[in-house]
A and B are shown apart, each in its own frame.
Chain A
């Protein structure tokens, strides 16, 4: 087990174009870190640089206090679970799991104990003699994890390991990975494009976009105070509503005759163009009179527990999440109150969250 430090790490394939623009993160011993972002944001590349599968163009990565920039993957004491599992198709489950141990010269007895222990944790006992092609998707996923566990490495690296599973299995494996991490306590780095996985698994998450780290923090902290428009839109489902407007007299005119007051601490440095962010779940239905926000209902999506109310404020589309049976009729006027402490304010030009 070890802590992993990433300092000023940059990556480019062709001179002058950076796919990763300098990442600084340090990951504590035993922490479960999720790197999340849309495809092409550089999250897998960052993970592969930690694994040693990609060269580091600039900066430093250290594992357990040792700089590993020029260390071969096999000597970094890490294990990786690949998106397509990368199981050796010609080897049995047992051989797949023990391959790394055999190469490292472990004794037969030691290998046996470790594999059996991992098989027990992952409930793979009955399948040890099978070939990967005779297993279901979920079982292959477990074998891939088993191969990582038996090595007892300093860190686990997961590269979108759940994206090839169907929705139900994905939920189940998510829980198992959580459980596994509680039991083993190994430092883990998990890459995904799925913000639900990130929210549920992470101790802390790293939100990346276009090769840049947008925010690092605990899931709820990121949810409560997204650092940028990108993070605000990426984390949370349905996505946060954005109402761009211009600031006049300490209030943001978001169109449709709606003015939203800027909190006092932000007033001083407020730019001219501000985007107000409101999560759909923070629009509260209210009675006539104390409403702050009204708009005609265009569409309703009934999801069972919740209903999504769609409409427009000025020209900007808006979604509110209400209790399943509480949806207003289409064509009627929806009335919502705003929760001032739940509003987010961003500089429209830079995309950054406004801070006092």
Chain B
């Protein structure tokens, strides 16, 4: 896409892009190159001298049990957040799609969690599920569940998944609802005349037609689970207990800031960048393809 009409000036366009480019260079490109550079260095304990070690940081990571665990944790975490988040939102969107009375009210009441910061969501759920004082913990204990996420890894995982899903549902819901409402009504009517029951209609017509939305949300939710959940984790489990909820982003932060292991943390950053780039490429390839429908 190009404009037919353009203005001519030898200096004005540079002036106009300058602020954006300056900030991009100083705060995006320079740090990214630094991260790559540092990922090839090992610093001594006092940070006074450093040594160029090629890929040793990466090799160490591949051999590091804790890092591999963190990968696994991230995989489990993002899978759960993505699938539960999408499933719940889809059910709600399907219910809301056909509702006539109160549609606007439901929508309003379902979208506000988007506005809640991850860290605040984390605090809310940490309180609800607090082992000794939390009201949900109380209910769980009353039902005979031995609830203590401070000690139990699987429960800690469940907690951060619930908090992250809660925050992401509104986003998924809005996109699913928009997707559903863009399916022509006559298609559903044609299927009804063809004899399809509501359930069958959903799986053979609606769900396939919704697939561009679903795929888009899949990528967005994975990215969300990878990066935006830092606040949830830091406000609740802080990666614990014993690394059970230490997702990759949290480990980058922990190793770099708390443990001050610059080389390893930078190498992890580089790996994360590769993952983001891969996800972005997938997303854009798909958006190009989806235009066909």
Binding site for B on A (CB under 8 A): 51-53, 72-74, 78-80, 82-84, 86, 88-90, 99-100, 103-104, 133, 147, 151
Nearest chain-A residue to B211 (Cβ)? A90
CB pair A103 B194 closer than 8 Å: yes
- Judging by beta carbons under 8 Å apart, are A103 and B189 in contact? no
Cβ-closest chain A residue relative to B205: A88
Chain B, range 181-207, C-beta contacts under 8 Å to A: 184, 186-187, 189-196, 200, 204-205
B46 close to chain A: CB less than 8 A: no
Chain A CB within 8 A of B208 CB: yes
Do the beta carbons of A86 and B187 come within 8 Å of each other?
yes
Chain B residue total in the interface (Cβ 8 A): 19
What CA separation (Å) do A82 and B186 show in the bound complex?
Answer: 7
Chain B residues positioned under 8 Å from A83 (CB to CB) = 186
Decide if A82 touches B195 in the complex (CB within 8 Å). Answer: no
Residue pairs across A and B with Cβ atoms less than 8 A apart, 28 shown, are A51-B193, A52-B193, A53-B189, A53-B192, A72-B192, A73-B192, A74-B195, A74-B196, A80-B190, A80-B193, A83-B186, A86-B184, A86-B187, A86-B190, A88-B187, A88-B190, A88-B191, A88-B205, A88-B209, A90-B209, A90-B211, A99-B196, A100-B193, A100-B194, A103-B195, A133-B292, A147-B194, A151-B194
In Å, the complex CA distance between A88 and B192 comes to 13
A61 CB to nearest B CB, Å: 15
Whether the pair B184, A74 counts as a contact (CB closer than 8 A) is no
Contacts of A151 in B (CB 8 A): 194
Report the minimum CB–CB distance from B280 to chain A (whole Å).
26
A-B pairs with the 6 shortest C-beta distances? A100-B194, A74-B195, A86-B186, A86-B190, A103-B195, A82-B186
- Interface residues of B, dominant DSSP: helix
Q: Does B293 contact A (CB under 8 A)?
A: yes
In the complex, A219 Cα to B163 Cα: how many Å? 68
With the chains together, A90 CA to B205 CA distance in Å? 8
List the B side residues contacting A74 at CB < 8 Å: 192-196
Nearest to A76 among chain B residues (CB) is B193
Contacts of B190 in A (CB 8 A): 80, 82, 86, 88, 147
B-chain residues with CB within 8 Å of residue A89 when the two chains form the complex: 209, 293
B208 to chain A, nearest CB (A): 5
Q: A79-B193, A99-B191, A133-B292 are in contact. Are A90 and B186 (CB under 8 A)?
A: no
Distance in angstroms between the alpha carbons of A86 and B187 in the assembled complex: 5
State the Cβ distance, B205 to closest chain A Cβ, in Å: 6
Contact surface of B with A, Cβ cutoff 8 Å = 184, 186-187, 189-196, 200, 204-205, 208-209, 211, 292-293
Of the listed residues A52, A80, A86, the one surrounded by the most CB atoms of chain B closer than 10 A to its CB is A86
Residues of B within 8 A of A73 (CB): 189, 192-193
**Structural contact, B196 and A103, CB atoms closer than 8 A:** yes
A133/B293 in contact, CB under 8 A: yes
Q: Which residues of B contact A133 (CB under 8 A)?
A: 292-293
Residues of A near B204 (CB, < 8 A) are 99
B239 → A minimal CB distance (Å):
43
Q: Are B195 and A100 within 8 A (Cβ)?
A: yes
Partner among A84, A103, A104, A147 whose Cβ is within 8 Å of the Cβ of B186 = A84
In the complex, chain B residues whose CB is within 8 Å of the CB of A147 = 190, 194
Minimum C-beta distance from B147 to chain A (A): 45
Given the complex of chains A and B, what is the CA–CA distance between A82 and B187 in angstroms? 9
> With A89-B293, A90-B208 in contact, is A82–B189 under 8 Å at CB?
yes
Q: Known pairs A86-B184, A99-B191, A147-B190. 5 more at Cβ < 8 A?
A: A82-B190, A84-B184, A88-B205, A90-B293, A100-B195
Q: What A residues does B184 contact at CB under 8 A?
A: 84, 86
